[in-house]
Amino acid sequence: NFFDGFRTSHELKKIRVLEPEEIKPLINQEALLKFRHKALSPENILTRGTAQNDDVYFQAVETRNSDYDKLPDIVNKYMQEINKITGKNYQPFNYHGHPQAEDVIIAMGSVCDTIKETIANLNDNGYQVGLLEVHLYRPFSSKYFKESLPKGVKRIAVLDRTKEPGSAGEPLYLDVLSMFDQDKPLIIGGRYGLSSKDTNPSHIKAVYDHLKSNNPFHNFVVGIEDDVTNRSLKVNKFICTKNQVSELLIYGFGSDGMVSASKSIIKIIGDNTDDYVQGYFQYDSKKSGGVTRSHLRFSPQPIKCAYYVTNPRLVVCSKEKYIDQYQMIDNIKENGVFLYITNDSDQEIIDRLSNHDKKILSDRNIKFYVIDAHSLADKYQLNHKISTIVETCIYKLADIIPFDKAYELLKQSIVKNFQKKGQEIVDSNLNAISEALNLLRKIEVNPEWSNLETKTIEIKDQVFEQTTNLKGNTLKVSDFLPYKDGSYQAGTTQREQRGIAETTPHWNNNTCIQCNQCSFVCPHGVIRPFLLNQEEYDNAPESVKKIAVDAIGSDYKYVLNVSYKNCTGCGLCAATCPTGSLAMKKFEDTPDEASEYLLNHVTEKSEMIKPNVKASQFAKPLFEYSGACAGCGETPYLKLLTQLFGKRMVIANATGCSSIYGASFPSTPYSVPWANSLFEDNAEYGYGMLMATDTMRNRIKNLMVENISQVDETTKDLFDLWLNNYDDYEITNRVYKELDYNKVPYLKEIADYIPKRSIWTIGGDGWAYDIGFGGIDQVLSSNDNVNILVLDTQVYSNTGGQSSKASERGSIAKFNSIGKKTAKKDLAKIALAYPNVYVASIAMGANMNQTLKALTEAEAHDGPSLIIAYSPCISHGIKKGSSYTMKEEELAVKSGYVSIFRYQPQDNKFILDYKEPDFNLLDSFFEGEKRFSMLKAVNPLKGQELLEQLKVDAKNRFAYYQKLSQ
């Protein structure tokens, strides 16, 4: 139902699936046939969907009342039939709890399992409470509601997992309220679990305690602390002790395979034992490289815990850095186990542990184990995937299933799941797990750690730091008062310094030619060239002076700096460097004195910034350190965009990958005005921004024209300058700075609109080719100056890589394992139907200059612009890894898979920027990406057929654009 989303869609659980033979007798075949005969067909001629006016519509609607009246009885009838088959007890409303309960919660959805578990524990301890679980929400049946609710109920709390601002109550509460006319019990409503916020037995007990209190007020909230309107319930820790559940909590690093390992554990134990299993998975909003938490449960009894793990007996940490940042073992069970993945020595580990963690390890008698899983993964070239190695250790330490049995099942699982990736991958994983236990070692916990003193850490920015450290649930409502309109401060990623890279680039200043290509392609704005004047050089720390060299073509000193703690270790810079002046070396988490000085004390040399590859990189990027994947193909375009136009740009961003790494609270990489729209209306959203801006600037124009004869000469000259250069940012910005607003107070309130703005509408191919295409078409058909940038990954990247209309024929994707059978939609070709639209197709790795030209030309064009930026994605499965993104773009263009071009409407000139592709390279391109090669591995004949058709598509597409250029 609408109360549940991610909480249930991403849960793994052992269930019983009804067989078709069991369901078939329940279906009224005669009624089914009658329904099918109502379908439109030449043998059944009728008209459906008439437009009805006010004289008849009302009556027609009311004819269906009797159908709705009958529905509860029909649903109940079939529920009873299902009950006979399954042994369940489904009713439109099910009551659970004490037969003489006076305090009852009414709820629906996944929270009901948590309430049932809580009831069982409370009623064993003197409470008399119950739950009325709603199974049939619409029609809401008064008959079945009253039959199910115990007669002696005095107090009811209705829980809604939604908020209807301004209403008298939430929907379920209002439905329950309508069931009573007289002699009704006390009925109050409250909210819980918005956005899948965890709701556990402690929260449920708080609701029952609230009902029994002297002041059981309505419109309460539970699960948060509301210190503004004071509607929250006080929650005390309450753990259900009745159930025999074993809990595991696994902290992973996005893309290291720990979620896959957790799902494998659930599947292996669920399929091969009588135990019930459950898995919940938490992800932060970083793409690959974020924090993952896997909550696993195992029990000989059905698991009714619809909430995250609260008391794990085994905690796993797969990333060294996490032990410094997150309090992972705060809730670990007495005599539990902690498994830490690191290559540190025992003494280094002990030195790294906080007193807080040491005290917990000692106080609770925790067994502490360590394994260097990453070195073992590197030995067998597993591409940082440590899943099977750690899974082996978990089976050994968790004691849920006999290890020998689990180990054999894991080997079978590896063969089954990795066979399609090749025997080499299978063998590498089998060899790795065979050595895993040899590397697993125990660290002795010192009993004296119980005597250590712990310190309270000072928190400077409560919201940012607590949320970043996975403590957002501790924040109060008052903490968000500054942000209640949905706005948040920009550029906060500069403070994160995640330190997540395994390796980072190190600069050789002796061989560097200062081309700045490394900075140009860096997806996260981590590697940057700096120019230091003499004073800045003299004041610099020794770490900067020893690497600074004379800048080519100027009197400045040149330094290429890497912000190591913000690097993701993709290696793109090293792979792009033409002289091999960057070497990837193991990341060391030490103070970065050079970055601190260069980022905070060296000024931007504006006279050196020009629109070419080298000089553009002397501009500070206003898109830095995003949560995008290492080696992301999208973000280099965004970073460059802010370097070119950042001081004047405003961004409307479609929902998708680019909005998630673009603004996931509290991480904001942009330092330009940015706002996110719904998926389908971003083009309209950006267009609205332009309309609002134009309205205000026209108002300024009118005010200047009306008053130009009444102002002094200096102001008059500035007015003339602005009016004659309305679309020139540099000149309009100069006017903005030089105007004396005391002389022109009528411009003071709207002065921000004096500088020319650059409006950009940005999103992925799922938005541009599919869901938001109609809006884009509307904007392109106008003659207004909106710039549209499409980050074309050729899949729905944000939701896991499903096919879009931008996907190429023959590519496999999520939910499309047999390969896309149709050609890619040619968005550029459609846009070219409008002669006033600037259209470009770009691929940075193929031609950096062409990319830069296209962006600057699009922004300069007085009218709509559409730029389609080819963006390799982790979903493509590039076999050579994240460092190969730019090379992959280059091969895509050289092979003719992607055509790069620019169309300039003012000259009616179509420029094909790569004129002679070698289509023989297409096979190499296909083989280098799993989205194409895997289909050939699974279905060689079909795969070959589709890819041959794709070659024809590529040749035809190029021929079309080649003809336009002639």
Q: Where does residue 246 rank: exposed (0-12), middle (13-18), buried (19+ CB within 10 A)?
A: middle
Domain assignment present for residue 442? The answer is yes
**Is the same domain home to 557 and 428?**
no
**Is the same domain home to 745 and 766?**
no
**Is the same domain home to 892 and 960?**
yes
**Is the same domain home to 814 and 738?**
no
| Amino acid (one-letter) located at 587 | F
Per-residue model confidence as pLDDT tens digits over 534-575: 999 999 999 999 999 999 999 999 999 999 999 999 999 999
Q: Mean pLDDT in the chain?
A: 95
Degrees to nearest 5, angle at CA 289 with 285 and 293? 65
Q: Tell me the average pLDDT across 170-179.
A: 96
**Is the same domain home to 742 and 801?**
no
What contacts 283, CB < 8 A, 6 or more positions away? 254, 290, 291, 292
**Is the same domain home to 416 and 336?**
yes
Q: Which residue has the tokens 């085994």?
A: 314
Secondary structure of 568-590 as H, E, C letters: CCCCHHHHHCCCCCEEEEECCCC
Instruction: Kindly list the strands in the beta sheet with 865-870, ordered across the sheet, starting from the edge strand earlier in the chain.
Output: 674-676, 649-653, 758-764, 787-792, 865-870, 838-842, 901-904, 909-912
Per-residue model confidence as pLDDT tens digits over 694-740: 999 999 999 999 999 999 999 999 999 999 999 999 999 999 999 99
Which of 693, 721, 753 is a domain's end point? 753
- Asked whether the predicted pLDDT for residue 881 surpasses 80, the reply is yes
Cβ 132 vs Cβ 150: under 8 Å: no
Per-residue model confidence as pLDDT tens digits over 656-688: 999 999 999 999 999 999 999 888 899 999 999
Per-residue model confidence as pLDDT tens digits over 2-43: 788 887 888 999 988 999 999 999 999 999 999 999 999 998
SS3 at position 45: coil
Which of 721, 753, 785 is a domain's end point? 753
- Asked whether the predicted pLDDT for residue 177 surpasses 80, the reply is yes
Specify the DSSP class assigned to residue 184: P
**Is the same domain home to 792 and 925?**
yes
Which of 753, 780, 811 is a domain's end point? 753
From CA 110, how far away is CA 305, in angstroms rounded?
9
Helices 387-398, 403-418: axis angle to 10 degrees equals: 160
Report pLDDT for 431: 97
Q: How confident is the model at residue 816 (pLDDT cuts 50, 70, 90)?
A: confident
Domain assignment present for residue 276? The answer is yes
Report pLDDT for 907: 92
**Is the same domain home to 712 and 773?**
no
From CA 424, how far away is CA 937, in angstroms rounded?
14
Per-residue model confidence as pLDDT tens digits over 913-941: 999 999 999 999 999 999 999 888 888 99
Long-range contacts, 75-82 (Cβ 8 Å, 24+): 75/136, 76/136, 76/144, 78/26, 79/135, 81/26, 82/26
- From first CA to last CA, the distance across the chain in angstroms is 58
Domain assignment present for residue 424? The answer is yes
What contacts 899, CB < 8 A, 6 or more positions away? 841, 893, 912, 914, 917, 957, 958, 961
SS3 at position 13: strand
- Asked whether the predicted pLDDT for residue 288 surpasses 90, the reply is no
Tokens representing residue 942 in the block: 């079909």
- Asked whether the predicted pLDDT for residue 457 surpasses 90, the reply is no
Specify the DSSP class assigned to residue 768: I
Evaluate if pTM is beyond 0.85. yes
State which residues form the domain around 851. 758-965
Q: Range with the lowest mean pLDDT among 142-146, 254-258, 475-479, 639-643? A: 254-258
From CA 195, how far away is CA 204, in angstroms rounded?
18
Q: Range with the lowest mean pLDDT among 183-192, 500-509, 586-595, 781-790? A: 586-595
Q: What is the CATH classification number for the domain harbouring 285?
A: 3.40.920.10
**Is the same domain home to 783 and 729?**
no
| Amino acid (one-letter) located at 445 | V
Q: Where does residue 815 rank: exposed (0-12), middle (13-18), buried (19+ CB within 10 A)?
A: exposed
Domain assignment present for residue 234? The answer is no
Domain assignment present for residue 158? The answer is yes
**Is the same domain home to 797 and 936?**
yes
**Is the same domain home to 773 and 837?**
yes
Q: Report the domain count for the chain.
A: 5
DSSP 275-336: -EEEEEEEE-S-STTSEEEEEEEEESS-----S--SS-SEEEE--TTHHHH--TTTTPPTT-
Report pLDDT for 865: 98
Q: What burial letters (b/e) apply to 905-932, b meaning 16+ CB within 10 Å?
A: beeeebbbbbeebeeebbeebbebbbbb
Q: Tell me the average pLDDT across 419-444.
A: 93
Radius of gyration of the chain (CA): 32
Distances (CA, A) of 393 to 253, 407, 435: 17, 10, 11
- Asked whether the predicted pLDDT for residue 1 surpasses 80, the reply is no
- Asked whether the predicted pLDDT for residue 460 surpasses 80, the reply is no
Domain assignment present for residue 665? The answer is no
Cβ 882 vs Cβ 873: under 8 Å: no
From CA 851, how far away is CA 611, in angstroms rounded?
11
Q: What is the CATH classification number for the domain harbouring 118?
A: 3.40.50.920
Cβ 118 vs Cβ 146: under 8 Å: no
Domain assignment present for residue 80? The answer is no
Helices 387-398, 423-439: axis angle to 10 degrees equals: 40
- Asked whether the predicted pLDDT for residue 458 surpasses 80, the reply is no
**Is the same domain home to 850 and 869?**
yes
